[in-house]
Amino acid sequence: MKVCHVFASREGGRWVSEQLEALKREHGFEVVVLLPGDGPTADLCRRTGIRAETFNFDFKRSSWRRLFSFPLRVIRLASWLRRERFDVVQSHLMNSTMFARPAAWLADIPVRLTMSTSPYYLQSPSLRWFEAGTTFMETGVIPSCNITTELYRAAGVPERRIMPCLYYGPHEAGFDPAAAQPEGLRAEMGVPEGTPLVGSIAIFYDRCRDSTFVPPECRNRFIKGHCDLIQAMHHVRGEFPEARLVMVGCGWGPRARATEQELRSFVRDEGLEEAVYFAGWRDSTPAILVDLDVSVQASVNENLGGTIESLLMARPTVATRVGGMVDSVVDGKTGILVNPEDPRDLARGICDLLRDPERGAALGKAGRAHMLAGFTLTSTVPRLAEIYLRQRAEARGAWRARMFASRLLLGALIAGPIVARLLWHHFFLNALPAGAAGLRDRLARLFDRRVARGVAAKRPL
Percent of the chain whose pLDDT exceeds 70: 87
Contacts of 36 (CB under 8 A, 6+ apart): 8, 9, 10, 54, 55, 56, 57, 58
Q: What is the mean pLDDT of residues 272-277?
A: 96
Residues 385 and 339 in one domain: no
Is 329 in the same domain as 434?
Answer: no
Residues 289 and 197 in one domain: yes
* Total length of the chain: 461
- Find the domain containing 385 and state its range: 2-169+377-456
Q: Do 194 and 280 share a domain, yes or no?
A: yes
Q: What is the pLDDT, as a whole number, of residue 459?
A: 37
Backbone angles phi, psi at 192, to 5 degrees: -65, 155
In terms of Cα–Cα distance, which of 94, 90, 181, 95 is closest to 140?
A: 90
pLDDT digits (tens, 9 = 90+) for 144-187: 999 999 999 998 899 999 999 999 999 999 999 999 999 999 99
Measured between alpha carbons, how far is 34 from 37 in angstroms, rounded to an integer?
Answer: 9
DSSP class of residue 337 equals: E
Amino acid at 211: S
Tens-digit pLDDT profile for residues 17-76 = 999 999 999 999 999 999 999 988 999 999 999 999 999 988 655 455 666 678 889 999
Q: Are 143 and 156 in contact (CB under 8 A)?
A: no
Q: Domain check: are 264 and 399 in the same one?
A: no
Last residue of a domain, one of 355, 372, 389: 372
Mean pLDDT, rounded, for 428-449:
61
Q: Which helix (H) or strand (E) holds 197?
A: strand 197-201
CB-count exposure of residue 393 (10 Å: 0-12, 13-18, 19+): exposed
CATH classification of the domain holding 422:
3.40.50.2000
Nearest to 281 by CA among 200, 224, 208: 200
Q: Report pLDDT digits (tens) over 293-322.
A: 999 999 999 999 999 999 999 999 999 999
**DSSP labels, 346-402:** HHHHHHHHHH-HHHHHHHHHHHHHHHHTTTSHHHHHHHHHHHHHHHHHH----S-HH
* Last residue in a domain, options 317, 345, 372: 372
Residue 407 phi, psi dihedral angles, 5° rounding: -70, -30
